[in-house]
């Protein structure tokens, strides 16, 4: 990243440099680091909104209570499942779409507009549309499709709430994956591919030996960035299932502990678990992005 920046400190720029950087740093300190420290403190205190007096240092007991609670392990598993399903679906679908759009198609501009659209839909809108217009078991569009094939209608949110949510979220992120991969495919050397075709390589062999290696880096970046956002999936759960063990992830757990059960201590502990979780993934992102920018 700093490869292009010759570090030249000049006295007449140092003052202004610091001055202009300070507001941004201060806002970020105030909105992220300071509250994070308070969260840590809360997570070690017995703090319940309904009993304002009961705040005192209680060591790790909030964490113990959190881990022992019947909601915690499912929330952790749900978070992981959600991330895994969305990543798999959006990348597989995105790759397919990118390959299709990279082909000799007519009207690529229009196709791009269609494909990118879901990415710009706000989460509560996409969740509600899918839940009601598409997945509703009586007169939803999917029920009609099922009937068309003589299948019984499937009650998505009763039988597979997490999968349903994952599907919706995957639909929102698929365009992102598709566009990144398409951009990367279009930067792939045409001549190299044509040379391989002349050598008699099959389409599958070209995909396997030329395109996939070329796409490794963009795929890694898609994984990292989607993960960051997927750890915080919240609105989709709120407006569809409204929680429940089967579909609560860590973000929603914090919300329900704090806003529904007023247990600040436990909620803070859950929040910090999410932070640690995110940071393990973040380390990889910083590495990948940092390296790519140095190259």
Partner 1 sequence: MRTRRRHRAIATMFAWAASLTIAFPLLWTLLTSFKTELEAVSFPPRFLSFDWTLANYRGILAEGDYLHSLVNSVIVAGGSSALVLALAIPAAWSMAFAPTHRTRGILLWMLSTKMLPPVGVFIPIFLFYRDWGLLDSRTGLVLLLAAANLPIAVWMLFSNFREVPGEILEASRMDGASLWQELVSVLAPLALPGIASTFFLVFTLAWNESFWTLNLVTTEATPLTAFIAAFSSPQGLFWARLSAASILSIVPVLLIGWLCQRQLVRGLTFGAVK
Partner 2 sequence: MSGIVLEGVTKRFGDHLVTDAIDLVIPDGAFTVFVGPSGCGKTTLLRLIAGLEDIDSGRLLIDGVDAAQTSPAARGLAMVFQSYALYPHMTVRANLGFALKVARRPRAEIAERTEQVAEMLNLTPFLDRRPGALSGGQRQRVAIGRALVREPKAFLFDEPLSNLDAELRAQMRIEIRRLQQQLGITAIYVTHDQAEAMTMADRIVVFRDGRVEQAGSPGEIYRNPASRFVAGFIGSPRMNFLGGAIAAKHGAVTIGVRPEHLAIDPAGTISAAVQAIEYLGSDSFVHLGAQSGETLIARGVPDLDFRSGDTVQLRIAPGAVHRFDADDRAMPAPAPAPGANIFEETV
Ligand X SMILES: Nc1ncnc2c1ncn2[C@@H]1O[C@H](COP(=O)(O)OP(=O)(O)OP(=O)(O)O)[C@@H](O)[C@H]1O
From residue 86 to residue 115, the character string flagging contacts with ligand X as x (rule: CB under 6 A) and all else as - is ------------------------------
Nearer CB in complex with ligand X: 6/276: 6
Distances (CA, A) of 33 to 22, 30, 179: 15, 6, 33
Minimum CB distance to ligand X, residue 7 (Å) = 8
User: Is residue 122 close enough to count as binding ligand X by CB under 6 A?
Assistant: no
Q: Binding residue for ligand X (CB under 6 A) from 2, 3, 4, 6?
A: 6
User: Is residue 5 close enough to count as binding ligand X by CB under 6 A?
Assistant: no
- What residues contact residue 208 under an 8 Å CB cut-off, 6+ apart? none
Vertex 115, ends 154 and 152: CA angle to 5°?
10
Site for partner 2 in 9-28 (CB under 8 A): 9-12
Q: Binding residue for partner 2 (CB under 8 A) from 8, 57, 191, 204?
A: 8
- Work out what residue 11 binds among ligand X, partner 2, partner 1, none; the CB cut-off runs from 5 to 8 Å by kind: partner 2
- Work out what residue 258 binds among partner 1, ligand X, partner 2, none; the CB cut-off runs from 5 to 8 Å by kind: partner 1
Nearer CB in complex with partner 1: 85/180: 180
Q: Binding residue for ligand X (CB under 6 A) from 8, 10, 15, 50?
A: 8
Q: CA-to-CA distance for 295 and 50, rounded, in angstroms?
A: 54
User: Is residue 2 close enough to count as binding partner 2 by CB under 8 A?
Assistant: no
Q: What value does the CA radius of gyration of the chain take, rounded to a whole number of Å?
A: 24
Nearer CB in complex with ligand X: 9/187: 9
- What residues contact residue 279 under an 8 Å CB cut-off, 6+ apart? none
Nearer CB in complex with ligand X: 7/148: 7
The stretches of the chain forming alpha helices (DSSP H) are 11-28, 34-43, 61-68, 72-102, 108-116, 123-129, 141-148, 156-159, 161-186, 190-198, 203-206, 212-230, 235-240, 250-255, 264-294
Q: Binding residue for partner 1 (CB under 8 A) from 55, 238, 244, 246?
A: 238
Q: CA-to-CA distance for 242 and 257, rounded, in angstroms?
A: 13
**Total binding residues toward partner 1, as defined by CB under 8 A:** 115
Distances (CA, A) of 81 to 166, 248, 276: 8, 11, 17
Binding site for ligand X (CB under 6 A): 6, 8
Binding site for partner 2 (CB under 8 A): 6, 8-12
């Amino acid at each position: 990243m700093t490869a292009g920046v010759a570090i030249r400190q000049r006295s007449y720029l140092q003052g202004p440099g610091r001055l202009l950087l300070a507001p941004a740093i201060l806002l970020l300190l105030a909105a992220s680091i300071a509250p994070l420290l308070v969260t840590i403190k809360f997570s070690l205190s017995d703090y319940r909104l309904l009993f304002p007096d009961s705040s005192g240092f209680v060591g790790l007991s909030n964490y113990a209570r959190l881990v022992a609670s019947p909601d915690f392990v499912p929330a952790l598993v749900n978070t992981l499942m959600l991330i895994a399903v969305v990543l798999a679906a959006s990348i597989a679908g995105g790759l397919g779409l990118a390959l299709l759009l990279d082909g000799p198609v007519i009207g690529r501009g229009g196709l791009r507009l269609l494909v990118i659209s879901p990415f710009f839909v706000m989460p509560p809108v996409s969740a509600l549309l899918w839940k009601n217009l598409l997945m509703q078991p009586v007169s939803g569009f999917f029920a009609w499709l099922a009937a068309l094939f003589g299948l019984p209608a499937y009650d998505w949110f009763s039988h597979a709430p997490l999968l349903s949510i994952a599907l919706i979220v995957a639909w929102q992120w698929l365009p992102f994956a598709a566009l990144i991969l398409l951009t990367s495919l279009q930067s792939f050397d045409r001549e190299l591919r044509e040379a391989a075709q002349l050598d008699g390589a099959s389409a599958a062999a070209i995909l396997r030996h030329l395109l996939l290696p070329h796409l490794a880096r963009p795929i890694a970046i898609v994984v990292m960035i989607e993960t960051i956002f997927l750890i915080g999936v919240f609105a989709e759960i709120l407006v569809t299932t409204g929680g429940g063990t089967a579909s609560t992830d860590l973000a929603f757990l914090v919300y329900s502990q704090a806003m529904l059960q007023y247990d600040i201590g436990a909620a803070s502990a859950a929040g910090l678990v999410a932070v640690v979780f995110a940071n393990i993934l973040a380390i990889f992102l910083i590495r990948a992005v940092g390296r790519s920018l140095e190259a």
